[in-house]
Amino acid sequence: MRRVRILIAMIAAFLIMVPAALTQVKPPQPVSVPNVAGMSLSAAQKALVSAGFNAVVTQENVTDPGKNNVVLKQQIAPGTPLAKGSNVPVVVGKYTAPTVAPVPNATGMKVETARQVLEKQGWSVGVQDRPVADSRQAGMVLQQAPPPGTQVQQKNQLVTLYVGKAQEAVQVPQVVGARANDANQALLGKGFKVNSTYIETQVKEHDGFVVKQDPAAGQKVNPGTVVTLAVNRFKDQPVAVPMVTNASAQQATSMLLSKGFKVSSTYIDTPMKEKNGYVNKQNPPAGQTANPGTVVTLEVYRFKEDPTVKMPNLVGMKYVDAKNTLEQLGLKANSGFIGNNNPALGGLVQRQVVPPGTSVKKGETVVFHTYMTVEETRKLKELTDKAKMQPKQYNPPIPPDAVTK
């Protein structure tokens, strides 16, 4: 009984001591998982081990050699709190250099045979139809992409086979008697091609109508076949070109247009005002035959005033007559006066600076010298002196006696 009591006392003491001891032991603290994505495998392993974790590695094939042995992703996100000693799974790239192989030649094979050959060698196969007119090409490989012999890095690359497909014959529609535009639309709508030839006709109402077709209407041919049409094209009879030289340009144009011709005009300068607007030449010439619609070129006079005049002989003329003569020619007169005691010569032009017959531009001033008696010279001086007193009203004085003589 005593032993029992002692045992119970010991157990009670143990139960009192254990909780106190347990309260002094702290549980381990979790650690954040580091970010190792993009690191090399060795660097990632060091980072994880340093943080107290274990790296669990799986591999994934990559086509970029720069990603070989590089951490592509980690299965536990960076920053996740995790107990030390935990496993952190990471995916690492594995690059394997692709093998280069030439694309085999499947052109000319039956499509079934070509598919078997290519797929047996590990190639992917795609098929596209190409319409063919020759039935012998139906089901045959006409072309392939990539072309035969092309070096490719991936042997399982897609090879597209273009295979001939026979077309169903189509009946050629009747287009004889139809307008060319309507015939073209009818044939193109059936899948045919159109080639047009022309037959000249002098009946304007027949212009533009189909008179023959090949292949004939009702014949069955493959779509894409060329149907040749013979189409009427109206052509006028040649017409004689009328004479229009020496006629006014307006009359000539009206006459030529009435005959069905077209008109083009060129111009030639003339100093004769009366010829302005009249036809000098024509091409084609009068009487020559040409088709309506032909362009007849007219050379038409265009008045252009001569900027020069011939200097007249003024010597011996009265001052007023010489001045008027020059002004009528578009020239300006400027006279100097020469003293003279002979009354018979007073007011007459004694000499001119520009010789007769010389070409002078219109608007220029021509100088000539006029005789003047002593009395006239005196009067001129008085008039000049008076004019100097009134410069705004001054006009070059004309000797009274010189004007009347």
In SS3 terms, the chain reads as CHHHHHHHHHHHHHHHHHHHHHCCCCCCCCEECCCCCCCEHHHHHHHHHHCCCEEEEEEEEECCHHHCCEEEEECCCCCCEECCCCEEEEEEEEECCCCCEECCCCCCCEHHHHHHHHHHCCCEEEEEEEEECCHHHECEEEEEECCCCCEECCCCCEEEEEEEEECCCEECCCCCCCEHHHHHHHHHHCCCEEEEEEEEECCHHHCCEEEEEECCCCCEECCCCEEEEEEEEECCCCEECCCCCCCEHHHHHHHHHHCCCEEEEEEEEECCHHHCCEEEEEECCCCCEECCCCEEEEEEEEECCCCEEECCCCCCCEHHHHHHHHHHCCCEEEEEEEECCCHHHCCEEEEECCCCCCEEECCCEEEEEEEECHHHHHHHHHHHHHHHHCHHHCCCCCCHHHHHC
- 101-166 to CATH, choices 1.10.3720.10, 3.40.50.1240, 3.30.210.10, 3.30.10.20: 3.30.10.20
Find out if CATH 3.30.10.20 is the number for domain 31-95: yes
pLDDT tens digits, 343-384: 778 788 888 889 998 989 888 998 888 887 767 667 766 766
User: 163 versus 353: which is more confidently predicted?
Assistant: 163
Q: How confident is the model at residue 6 (pLDDT cuts 50, 70, 90)?
A: low
- Specify the CATH class of 239-303 in words: alpha beta
pLDDT of residue 22: 46
Same fold? 101-166, 174-227? yes
Fold of 174-227: Trypsin Inhibitor V; Chain A (3.30.10)
- 308-404 to CATH, choices 3.30.10.20, 1.20.120.1630, 3.40.50.300, 3.90.245.10: 3.30.10.20
pLDDT of residue 337: 79
Q: What is the mean pLDDT of residues 221-243?
A: 89
pLDDT of residue 1: 58
Q: From edge to edge, which strands make up the β-sheet containing 87-95?
A: 54-62, 87-95, 71-74
Please determine, for residue 394, whether its predicted confidence score (pLDDT) is greater than 50.
Answer: no
Please determine, for residue 9, whether its predicted confidence score (pLDDT) is greater than 70.
Answer: no
Please determine, for residue 402, whether its predicted confidence score (pLDDT) is greater than 50.
Answer: no
Where are the chain's structural domains? 31-95, 101-166, 174-227, 239-303, 308-404
Of 56-70, 96-110, 194-208, 391-405, the range with the lowest mean pLDDT is: 391-405
**What does pLDDT average to over the chain?**
85
Please determine, for residue 299, whether its predicted confidence score (pLDDT) is greater than 70.
Answer: yes
Please determine, for residue 403, whether its predicted confidence score (pLDDT) is greater than 50.
Answer: no
pLDDT of residue 145: 93
* Cα angle, residue 304 at apex, residues 302 and 310 outer, rounded to 5°: 140
pLDDT of residue 300: 96
Q: What is the mean pLDDT of residues 207-236?
A: 91
pLDDT of residue 405: 37
